């Protein structure tokens, strides 16, 4: 590999000859050889967007020479488009403010802007990463602004549509199965009947409420601390800088970001990200509940409940021929588990904010964006490859419902709790149907029993007196 020599305030550094970044990024690569994790495309896109908006604002305020500003603006747009992703090389596990990543962007944009002007990389006298690209900014307000923009945009453009799709598919199944009766189960024991429609309506509502929680959290993410610079005071930033930056971001995203009500809060904490992560964690827990139910209800086919069938999408065993496993729901459950873990890491990272600055920016940003990404993909996959193709084994479900000792609950108001309990015990001890047990133990006629044991009516809350 060939190198060129660049320098920063600590001295000279060897930089790969073909790298757009400079000395500070090269130093960070040496300092943080921790993992293979690099910031996602969504984060780099938002970073380019903020730098583009900053350049446009500084030109509008006559603080940045137009020739230089336009080159910076164009280079920043290229970063947004992903043309220079390979030059964003700093590990996620770095300085807690994210300074190395901010400088990575500043150096890439400065050197690319120089190329656009037909000049050589590293010509800091013409375009300086700090003086020009970072004008009116600090890492301390840029990185939390970037993470909010990236997270909010991904939520709106990817996660919310995925949740709407999943809710729609669950609601369709609720309607399709509205008259299909099954045994209810509580504590994994037989309970009074419900319909599959009722069960799936509960799932659809869980997703709908998750979407509402995420929308509520989104409001906090729309507050941007840009303009706060180093400690929230706005030192070295023009009073109109933040307003112009936010207006440009809104123009390019179509969202309604706003300047933070209090930049000291927005930079000293990441409570907005913690709130968003909590909403994502709640969604993950809901997905675990839904997927667990689907696995249980489809268990078998001969030794389990086997009331529903999930779409067969791949062979399930390398040794047992013909076995088919619920792989889509299991994949979703692994995503949910990972998101819960990310939420814990985000919480701990939010706890290490001290005084005027949170020290968990990079990890919070990475984990929050990863949660949004994998939840979006998992919900879409679950909706399309699983929920949409679920069928019910109607006769199997009815047979199990009719065998449930809990059916005696329906006659308890007529014959009393104690006598109803004796009927249930008789069913189990003598392997009798509920109809036989009611006739023998409760003294009801066959016609009365037939009228009482209307499973669909029971599932819909019918009361027998």
Going by the annotation, the residues of the binding site for substrate are 97-99, 128-131, 138-140, 186, 318, 323-325
* C-alpha–C-alpha distance, residues 178 and 180, integer Å: 6
Peptide bond preceding 311 in cis form (omega within 30 of 0): no
Q: Evaluate whether 220 touches 272 at the Cβ level (below 8 Å).
A: yes
Q: By the 8 A CB rule, do 96 and 32 touch?
A: no
Work out the burial of residue 372: count CB atoms within 10 Å of its CB; fewer than 13 is exposed, 13-18 middle, 19 or more buried: buried
Two tokens, residue 86: 């390979």
Name residues whose C-beta falls within 8 Å of residue 231's C-beta, 6 or more positions apart in sequence.
140, 264, 267, 356, 357
| Helix residue ranges per DSSP H, 23-159 | 23-31, 41-60, 66-81, 99-116, 139-154
Cα dihedral: 285, 287, 290, 291 (round 10): -110
Beta strands 11-16 and 3-8: pairing type? antiparallel
Please state the φ and ψ torsions of residue 329, each to the nearest 5 degrees. -70, -35
Which secondary structure element, helix H or strand E, spans residue 256, and what is its range?
A: none
Joined tokens for residue 243: 């307003």
Of these residues, 317, 331, 349, 371, which one is catalytic? Answer: 317
Which residues contribute to the annotated binding site? 97-99, 128-131, 138-140, 186, 318, 323-325
Residue listed under structure tokens 């199997």: 396
d(CA 148, CA 325): 39
Q: With contact defined as beta carbons under 8 Å apart, do 51 and 72 qualify?
A: yes
- Where does 211-349 show beta strands of DSSP type E? 223-224, 258-259, 308-309
Residue 223 CA to residue 415 CA, distance in Å, equals: 62
**Catalytic residue flag (residue 238):** no
Per the DSSP assignment, residues forming a β-bridge with 354 are 357
C-alpha angle 177-183-188 in degrees, rounded to nearest 5: 125
CA atoms within 13 A on the CB side of 95: 19
Residue 465: Cβ-neighbour burial (10 angstroms; 0-12, 13-18, 19+)? exposed
Q: Where are the alpha helices (DSSP H) in 386-416?
A: 394-403, 412-415
Q: Is 187 a catalytic residue?
A: yes
How far apart CA 217 and CA 435 sit, in angstroms, is 53
Pull the structure tokens for residue 42. Answer: 């969504």
Which listed residue (187, 331, 349, 376) is catalytic? 187
Q: Please provide the DSSP assignment of 430-460 as one string.
A: HT--HHHHIIIII---HHHHHHH--HHHHHT
Active site residues: 187, 317
């Amino acid at each position: 590999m060939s190198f060129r020599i660049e320098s920063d305030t600590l001295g000279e550094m060897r930089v790969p000859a073909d790298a757009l970044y400079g000395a500070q990024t090269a130093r960070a690569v040496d300092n943080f050889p921790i993992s293979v994790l690099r910031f996602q495309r969504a984060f780099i896109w938002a970073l380019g967007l903020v730098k583009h908006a900053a350049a446009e604002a500084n030109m509008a305020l006559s603080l940045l020479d137009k020739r230089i500003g336009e080159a910076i603006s164009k280079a920043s747009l290229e970063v947004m488009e992903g043309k220079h992703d390979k030059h964003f090389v700093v590990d996620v596990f770095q300085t807690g403010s994210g300074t190395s990543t901010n400088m990575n962007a500043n150096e890439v944009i400065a050197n690319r802007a120089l190329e656009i002007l037909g000049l050589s990389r590293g010509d800091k006298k013409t375009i300086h990463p700090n003086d020009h690209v970072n004008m009116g900014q600090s890492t301390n307000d840029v990185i939390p602004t970037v993470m909010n923009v990236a997270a909010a945009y991904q939520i709106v453009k990817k996660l919310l549509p995925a949740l709407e799709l999943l809710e729609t598919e669950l609601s369709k199944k609720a309607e399709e199965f509205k008259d299909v009766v099954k045994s209810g189960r509580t504590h994994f024991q037989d309970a009074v009947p419900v319909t599959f429609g009722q069960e799936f309506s509960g799932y659809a509502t869980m997703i709908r409420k998750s979407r509402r929680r995420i929308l509520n959290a989104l409001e906090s993410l729309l507050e941007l601390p840009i303009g706060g610079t180093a400690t929230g005071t706005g030192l070295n930033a023009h009073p109109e800088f933040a307003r112009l930056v936010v207006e440009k971001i809104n123009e390019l995203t179509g969202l309604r970001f706003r300047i933070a009500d209090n930049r000291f809060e927005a930079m000293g904490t990441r409570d907005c990200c913690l709130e968003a992560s909590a909403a994502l964690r709640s969604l993950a827990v809901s997905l675990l509940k839904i997927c667990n139910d689907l696995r249980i209800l489809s268990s078998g086919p001969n030794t389990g409940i086997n009331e529903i069938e999930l779409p067969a999408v791949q062979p399930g065993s390398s040794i047992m021929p013909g076995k088919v496993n619920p792989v889509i729901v299991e994949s979703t459950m692994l995503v949910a588990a990972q998101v819960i873990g990310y939420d814990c890491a985000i919480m701990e990272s939010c706890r290490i904010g001290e005084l005027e600055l949170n020290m968990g920016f990079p990890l919070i940003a990475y984990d929050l964006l990863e949660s949004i990404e994998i939840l979006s993909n998992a919900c879409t996959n679950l909706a399309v490859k699983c929920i949409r193709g679920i069928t019910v084994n109607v006769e199997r479900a009815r047979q199990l419902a009719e065998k449930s000792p809990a059916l005696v609950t329906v006659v308890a108001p007529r014959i009393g709790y104690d006598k109803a309990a004796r009927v249930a015990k008789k069913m189990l001890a003598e392997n009798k149907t509920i109809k036989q047990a009611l006739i023998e133990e409760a003294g009801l006629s066959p016609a009365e029993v037939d009228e009482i044991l209307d499973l669909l009516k029971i599932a819909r809350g019918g009361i027998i007196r």
